[in-house]
Amino acid sequence: MTSQGNNLDRWYGSYAERTAGLAASEVRALFAVASRPEVVSLAGGMPFVSALPRELVSGAMERVMRDKGPVALQYGSGQGVPALREQILEVMALEGIRANVDDVVVTTGSQHALELVAKIFLDPGDVVLAEAPSYVTAMVVFKSFQAQVEHVLTDEHGLVPSALREHIARLRAQGRRIKFLYTVPTFGNPSGITMSWERRLEVLEIARANDILVLEDNPYGLLYFDGPPPHAMRSVEEEGVIYLGTFSKTLAPGFRVGWALAPHAIREKLILANEAAVLSPSSLTQMIISEYLSTADWKGQIDTFRGVYRERRDAMLQALTDYLPDLSWTVPNGGFYVWLTLPDNVDSKSMLPRAVKELVAYTPGTAFYANGDGRTHMRLAFCYPTPDFIREGIRRLSTVINGELELLNTFSQTAPLATVRAEQRIVSPPANLG
């Protein structure tokens, strides 16, 4: 890297060029402020782990240490503990996936799986296609490998196939290399939108026709509220899809255990990349999760989580209706997030400091676009705060937004909020959102 101007970092000129893509995400930057007890944080997608009975986990830990301690504390396989990989097949079967245990690679959280896929596929200048908006830290990973993220239009049914075709044709005409399509098709982060089954099939057909790999990231698929979502894309396409899963949302993120299900040749490279990065994922945490899955009613526990998050989603939707009735938002059937749309002249990023001053935090929409778009949107997470805190957070947020609009009206003669957005208000959710 070439040093420009004065820099207090003595080694600034020695870093690899790819470090230019390592920027602190707006989500992580919020955590220090949002963790203050007086702030209602609607920003971070933290699971409500208190809904997990401690004895289920502590019992599993005790049995692992008592019966398998020396093995659990030792190095393990770069592919993961075989017993856990067998159980992962049971988890994925709930979303229609049939697979071979040999094609599962355990990783240190699915975030690590994202990095491994990027590591084995991306060269500088390569293109990753992604939804608009898309998961913030995935974009950080792709950019750290000097790839370029191209966003594809979405609507209430997910990725728009015609837009995907247009992007592929344009990029190919420019001679640019498309390595894969990244998608969170079920209860997407940040939008909460679920790609319809018809769209999934059409997107897969477009990918097959253009020889483009699909990277399906599915952290939230089992956390549905009003009925199961469509089956995973991997359920109907084996060779063209890498599927990523995690126990962070259905158990606890502190274990840092996720997995990738990949076609045979890709799996081999993922194992080698895994060994090169961490030597082996933690045998201890894998064995604890395996013991938990063997002895606990884990499906019942997932249903408990569904009830917790459904109640919180409902609290957020009701609070939005009560305090910000003229805005629009998505109505998710699962997951952690609502995507809020602001009037055209309100900038969610510049408004954030005023929100924090009013003791409420959110994630600006710009965090979820590689090109700086998203200023008139924000992600609201309902997973962690209690329903009462969610309602209070939305009340505080309404004060901030309405204050911003009053200020803009004063200085620019902007039309009132009801006039600007009344036509976009969501009266009932689209069919696929429940």
Q: Which of 233, 265, 295 is the last residue of a domain?
A: 295
- The mean pLDDT value for 191-196 works out to 98
- CATH number, domain at 347? 3.90.1150.10
pLDDT in tens, 293-307: 999 999 999 999 999
DSSP 8-state class, residue 431: G
- CATH number, domain at 60? 3.40.640.10
- The gap from C-alpha 103 to its chain's centroid, in whole angstroms, comes to 23
DSSP notation for 137-148: HHHHHHHHTT-E
Judged by DSSP in three states, 187 sits in coil
pLDDT attached to residue 428: 33
pLDDT attached to residue 411: 74
Percentage of residues of the chain with pLDDT beyond 70: 90
pLDDT attached to residue 24: 62
Distance CA 303, CA 224 (A): 9
Same domain, 415 and 429: yes
- Give residue 316's domain range: 18-51+301-433
Q: Is pLDDT of 357 > 80? A: yes
Same domain, 356 and 379: yes
* Residue 429 pLDDT grade (very low, low, confident, very high; cuts 50, 70, 90): very low
pLDDT in tens, 238-258: 999 999 999 999 999 999 999
* Residue 38 pLDDT grade (very low, low, confident, very high; cuts 50, 70, 90): confident
Within a domain: residue 177?
yes
Q: Which of 372, 371, 377, 320 lies closest to 346 in space, CA to CA?
A: 377
pLDDT attached to residue 15: 83
Percentage of residues of the chain with pLDDT beyond 90: 83
Same domain, 142 and 229: yes
Same domain, 325 and 415: yes
Same domain, 181 and 84: yes
The HSE-up count of residue 48 (CA atoms within 13 Å, CB side) is: 23
Same domain, 127 and 170: yes
pLDDT attached to residue 408: 82
Q: Are 360 and 38 in contact (CB under 8 A)?
A: no
* Rg for the chain, CA atoms, rounded: 22
Q: Which of 295, 312, 345 is the last residue of a domain?
A: 295
Within a domain: residue 13?
no
- The mean pLDDT value for 393-406 works out to 95
- The mean pLDDT value for 343-370 works out to 94
N-term to C-term CA, the chain: 49
Distance CA 385, CA 358 (A): 17
- Structure pTM? 0.89
Same domain, 126 and 219: yes
Q: Which of 295, 327, 350 is the last residue of a domain?
A: 295
Same domain, 281 and 330: no
Strands 241-246 and 213-217, bridge-based pairing: parallel
One-letter amino acid identity for 133? Answer: P
pLDDT attached to residue 343: 94
pLDDT attached to residue 37: 79
User: Per the structure, how many domains does the chain have?
Assistant: 2
Q: Are 190 and 382 in contact (CB under 8 A)?
A: no
Contact residues for 57 (Cβ-Cβ < 8 A; gap 6+): 252, 288, 292
pLDDT in tens, 292-345: 999 999 999 999 999 999 999 999 999 999 999 999 999 999 999 999 999 999
Same domain, 270 and 365: no
pLDDT attached to residue 26: 58
Residue 246: its H or E element: strand 241-246
- The mean pLDDT value for 8-26 works out to 75
pLDDT in tens, 158-190: 999 999 999 999 999 999 999 999 999 999 999
Within a domain: residue 261?
yes
Give me the chain's average pLDDT, please: 91
Q: Are 316 and 388 in contact (CB under 8 A)?
A: no
